[in-house]
Amino acid sequence: MTSDGTGHQTKFGPKGEPVTQLEITGMTCESCATHVKQALEKVPGVRSAGVSYATGIARLAMASDTPLASLKSAVASLGYRAALADAPPGPKSESLWGKALSLLGGGHKAIGKAGELHVAVIGSGGGAMAAALKAAEQGARVTLIERGTIGGTCVNIGCVPSKIMIRAAHIAHLRRESPFDRGITASAPVIDRQALHAQQQARVEELRHAKYEKILQANPAITVLHGCARFKDGERLIVQMTGGGEREVAFDRCLVATGATPAVPPIPGLKDTPFWTSTEALASETMPDRLAVIGSSVVALELAQAFARLGSKVTILARNTLFFHEDPAIGKTVTDTFRAEGIEVLEHTQASHVAWVGGEFVLATSRGERRVERLLVATGRAHNTSDLGLDLAGVRLNAQGAIVIDRAMRTSAPNIYAAGDCTDQPQFVYVAAAAGTRAAINMTGGAAVLDLGAMPAVVFTDPQVATVGLSQAQAQAQGIETDSRLLTLDNVPRALANFDARGFIQVVAERGSGRLLGVQAVADQAGELIQAAALAIGNRMTVDDLAGQLFPYLTMVEGLKLCAQTFSKDVTQLSCCAG
């Protein structure tokens, strides 16, 4: 046996030809060995390969300058691991604490040059990407499996395209009317939806390439498989490859981050019609003259206002009130704003039947028949968990089909974690990303948790809706005595300077201690001010602490300070900058 300049440990066969031996781990059958053989023989420089499932050894006849990295990469692309068979063994000892962590599904399995710890990630959205990158950073070898477009919902068909459309609609609205029309002549804009859509999609593709595809391509520790994954058991996945055939992927740890898709309510006749979900609405290159929206929360209301501002006559059918899960003041303010803009809001109204007749939708409702050109259904999102074989891996779901996880993102199955919209966590991409990062830390031996006690949320209507912490009703339901103040925006100098006093800021505090519990805001730029509230709540500040802080004059976030001051004084009697 000799060693050459490439680092190969080379043996010689019975005819004197050089043979390199690799140890292949992760194979579970003879078919696996066949796949490995085929992959190795495609590596430039390899003349022939023989792979034995029984011994786990691959014997290669190849050029002496064939890079070892190329061999390992070929094997890794199948979900297996390759190491030189004659490489010196690593340390075998393991502490009792390490063994205990391993049994519990945590712990840091020894990671050597061959990447003994293999993390499989199902999905490629915010949670999956965060986990894959962090696991690779921690020294693990990662196989990321995506059945569709790289990047998941947010960048492709969710957050990014919707916010671009909403911003375009806001510009159209300002050109049509503003509080300054007596001094600045308004004019009705001409909407070219096809051009707007092209601009929207160009930015989507740019961000997907820069923030997902390019990063994955540049990371040698991450292998991407395109196909549908399902669990064979608690240690193996079967991947139905997009190009045909299937592969088995053995893992040491696995993260499920498969997201969610628009839910479709069981309205008679609906499934037989060409209705829109948010996906089709954002992809449309035309503007309907008449649009009905079924739904009363985030996606429904963001898109309803955007379509209305771009020229559609919009009717919202809400089975309750708008934002009925939130503080009642939020729904009332948004409803009043929408109606003032010409959006028809039908509260406590449901469609009992939907039909597609003569090129239009016919909706039977408790308020009579409605006929519209397009119908958008936005009644929530369903967890993507039904076709993963989670039961075979021992992963528990709740009644809604969400994966149940703890604060460390562990599922009920050893070595399987989950993050994002497929779980029982709040469905926000930044929550998914935070969960994915912490899951990766835990899968590689750490001990990270995700605290959602001060989680901010934003709805990009105009005015925006932003919340953090507990509402008054939520706090009282937990047995906390509360004190709250609601400050209308006609008390906020920035709002007055903008000639736009729509909305309010509300602060909820614990009675007696004054500790901040929650903030709700409906205001221009509410999404920008809510993070200050989140930091204050996270640091257990009181209303007096908040009222005593320095806030820049003529900013919307100054409204937080003013609202905190109302707990102890009448702010209408203060000068503009009174501290």
Q: Catalytic residues, which ones?
A: 27, 29, 32, 80, 154, 159, 576-577
The helix, strand and coil proportions of the chain, stated in percent and rounded to the nearest 5, come to 30, 25, 40
Question: How many whole angstroms separate alpha carbon 259 and alpha carbon 263?
Answer: 12
Contact 302, 166 (CB under 8 A): yes
Contact 468, 537 (CB under 8 A): yes
Three-class secondary structure of residue 423 per DSSP: strand
Question: How many whole angstroms separate alpha carbon 509 and alpha carbon 475?
Answer: 9
How many C-beta atoms lie closer than 10 Å to residue 309's C-beta? Answer: 25
Closest listed residue to residue 276, CA positions, set 300, 296, 244, 247: 300
Question: How many whole angstroms separate alpha carbon 428 and alpha carbon 231?
Answer: 26
322, 325, 329, 335 alpha-carbon torsion, rounded to 10°: 0
Question: How many whole angstroms separate alpha carbon 133 and alpha carbon 222?
Answer: 8
Amino acid at 427: Q
Closest listed residue to residue 35, CA positions, set 250, 252, 246: 246
Spatial neighbors of 575 by CB under 8 A, at least 6 apart, are none
**Which pairs from 70-75 meet CB under 8 Å and 24+ separation?**
70/43, 70/44, 70/45, 71/22, 71/40, 71/43, 71/46, 72/114, 73/220, 73/223, 74/39, 74/40, 74/42, 74/43, 75/22, 75/24, 75/36, 75/39, 75/40
Residue 528 token pair: 């920008």
Amino acid at 482: T
How many C-beta atoms lie closer than 10 Å to residue 29's C-beta? Answer: 10
Question: Peptide bond preceding 463: is omega within 30 degrees of 0, i.e. cis?
Answer: yes
How many C-beta atoms lie closer than 10 Å to residue 25's C-beta? Answer: 14
Spatial neighbors of 177 by CB under 8 A, at least 6 apart, are 186
Closest listed residue to residue 504, CA positions, set 257, 293, 336, 329: 329
Residue 376 token pair: 């958008």
Contact 508, 519 (CB under 8 A): yes
Q: For residue 507, list its beta bridge partners.
A: 485, 519
DSSP string of 452-510, one letter each residue:
-TT--EEE-SSSEEEEEE--HHHHHHTT--EEEEEEEGGG-HHHHHTT----EEEEEEE
- Measured on CA atoms in the order 276, 126, 74, 240, is the torsion positive or negative? negative
Question: How many whole angstroms separate alpha carbon 489 and alpha carbon 497?
Answer: 11
**What distances in angstroms separate CA 322 from CA 289, 346, 518, one per listed residue?**
23, 10, 20
